[in-house]
């Protein structure tokens, strides 16, 4: 191992890519969270920039729509003084039939240093690591993983609760279609939280118990016992069959409103990755209420993505 690589290992990070939290150790996750904590202060300065990635180029290669993740990566790269290229599949030669491999190789040929990719196909970021030489960051691949979302969720929990180990975290809703749930399960269990998945049987497969989590079909049973409740969006675009009788029934059983929330712990933290279906998984008074950490999650996403771009771009072998 080269001396530089040994140094990075000692510093806690030697991964060229961030593909998912399944691949990270507990120590690597903590290293990202600690690095993000050191970057969070940058956004409070009057000049919100550090030169860490000056001269580097980050491309946002988004094949799916996004508000938070894309904007957050763009701002994160900009605060690290990198140049940013925004790629949108709808406006590109993908519409003329160009493949993912050719698209990525052409963009790499322009001299980019990091590719951030969101794609509807699970494994698309992993495939890109075999097509190009630059670091790849997964910004969400189908229903597989969304590692930076889970990292920002854990950062927010740790910031507010002071720790993650020993906390009981409920993840509620459309688990089967959720990359956010999968990444949170990997990350939270590695950091010692107890995770319970809550939802109708059609959206919470029993087989997920193999990931070291509990499963419940009753939000009312679980709510009084949890420290954090992460409400997932009902992903109408990924649901292909009738997995619950009606949206109204789903909301009655699994939606969080202030009356239901009052039966939770006094300091229960309410989270949601966004975008919210207001009135379906969350009522507006809960989404915007005192227990909600939803906008704080978004704020923290910036620091987490600064940390991720910084860490992957300085691993030996990265440009
Ligand atoms: N949470 C999340 O991934 O939001 P976007 O789809 O807006 O990026």
**In this predicted model, what pLDDT tens digit does every residue of 197-233 receive, in sequence order?**
999 999 999 999 999 999 999 999 999 999 999 999 9
287 and 272 in contact (C-beta within 8 Å)?
A: yes
Closest atom of ligand 1 to CA, residue 65: 6
Best residue among 67, 155, 272, 277 to mutate for probing ligand 1, ranked by most atoms within 8 Å of CB: 67
**Closest Cα partner for 63 from 90, 25, 93?**
90
pLDDT value, residue 95: 82
What residues does 65 pair with on adjacent strands?
none
Which letter does DSSP use for residue 49 in this model?
Answer: -
Under a CB-based contact definition with an 8 Å cutoff, are residues 101 and 84 in contact? no
Pocket test for ligand 1, best of 275, 295, 300 (most atoms within 8 A of CB): 275
Cα separation, 283 vs 301, whole angstroms: 23
Residue 229: Cβ within 10 Å count: 28
Phi first, then psi, for residue 233 (nearest 5°) are -75, 140
Q: Any idea which residues carry the catalytic annotation?
A: 68-69, 96, 118, 146
Give the separation between CA 152 and CA 257, rounded to whole angstroms: 24
- Encode pLDDT of 105-120 as tens digits: 999 999 999 999 999 9
Instruction: Read off the pLDDT band of 317 (50, 70, 90).
Output: confident
Task: Give the C-alpha separation, 310 to 305, whole Å.
Answer: 8
Rg (CA), the chain: 20
Q: What is the pLDDT of residues 247-268, one digit of tens each?
A: 888 999 999 999 999 999 999 9
From ligand 1's centre to the CA of 149, what distance in Å?
Answer: 8
User: Which atom of ligand 1 is the closest one to the Cα of 273?
Assistant: 1
Q: What is the pTM of this model?
A: 0.94
Closest residue by CA, ligand 1 atom 3? 69
Burial class of 248 by CB neighbour count within 10 A (0 to 12, 13 to 18, 19+): exposed
Q: Identify the residue whose C-alpha is closest to ligand 1 atom 4.
A: 68
């Amino acid at each position: 191992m080269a001396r530089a690589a040994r140094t990075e290992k000692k510093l806690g990070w030697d991964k060229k890519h961030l593909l998912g939290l399944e691949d990270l150790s507990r120590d690597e996750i903590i290293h990202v969270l600690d690095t993000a904590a050191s970057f969070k202060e940058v956004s409070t300065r009057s000049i919100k920039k550090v030169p860490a990635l000056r001269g580097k180029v980050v491309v946002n290669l988004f094949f799916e729509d996004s508000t938070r993740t894309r904007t957050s990566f763009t701002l994160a790269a900009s605060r690290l003084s990198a140049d940013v290229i925004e790629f949108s599949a709808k406006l590109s030669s993908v519409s003329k039939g160009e493949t993912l491999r050719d698209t990525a190789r052409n963009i790499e040929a322009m001299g980019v240093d990091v590719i951030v990719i969101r794609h509807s196909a699970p494994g698309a970021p992993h495939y890109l690591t075999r097509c190009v030489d630059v670091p790849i960051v997964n910004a969400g691949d189908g229903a597989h993983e969304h590692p930076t979302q889970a990292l920002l969720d854990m950062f927010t929990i740790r910031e507010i609760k002071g720790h993650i180990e020993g906390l009981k975290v409920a993840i509620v809703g459309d688990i089967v279609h959720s990359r956010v749930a999968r990444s949170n399960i990997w990350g939270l269990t590695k950091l010692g939280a107890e995770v319970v998945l809550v939802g109708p049987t059609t959206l919470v497969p029993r087989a997920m118990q193999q990931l070291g989590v509990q499963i419940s079909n009753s939000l009312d049973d679980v709510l009084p016992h949890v420290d954090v409740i992460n409400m997932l969006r009902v992903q109408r675009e990924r649901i292909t069959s009738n997995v619950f009788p009606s949206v109204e029934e789903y909301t009655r059983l699994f939606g969080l409103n202030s009356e239901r929330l009052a039966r939770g712990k006094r300091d229960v933290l309410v989270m949601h990755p966004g975008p919210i279906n207001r009135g379906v998984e969350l009522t507006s008074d809960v989404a915007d209420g005192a227990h909600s950490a939803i906008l704080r999650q978004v704020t923290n996403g910036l620091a987490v993505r600064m940390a991720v771009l910084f860490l992957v771009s300085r691993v030996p072998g990265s440009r």
